Amino acid sequence: MQAQKRLFDLIGRENYIKLPKQGTNPRGVEITKEALSALVQDEETEKIFINWQKTSIKFNPYKRWVDLWRED
């Protein structure tokens, strides 16, 4: 939290928060790319390391839908 507060004070609201476009239905505000990059590099930011393993699957959405349409 201290890293976020310090960065917010350093770069200001306009460079920390990305406001949603008017007329959209957002679920909240976003953190800018620059702010997120700075937070990741900050030594006070707590990090959880995750070993992501991407598995390969054979999936053909076109064939799946054709098969489902044939069932009807």
Q: How many CB atoms lie within 10 A of CB 5?
A: 9
What pLDDT sits at residue 18? Answer: 92
Distance, in Å, from the CA atom of 35 to the CA atom of 12, rounded to the nearest integer, reads: 10
Ramachandran region, residue 12 (left: φ > 0; alpha: ψ -120 to 50; beta: rest): left
pTM: 0.59
Per domain, the residue ranges of the chain are 2-71
pLDDT along the chain (72 residues), means of 10: 92 93 87 95 91 91 91 78
What pLDDT sits at residue 47? Answer: 86
R_g of the chain, CA atoms, integer Å: 21
Q: Indicate the helix (H) or strand (E) that contains 17.
A: strand 17-18
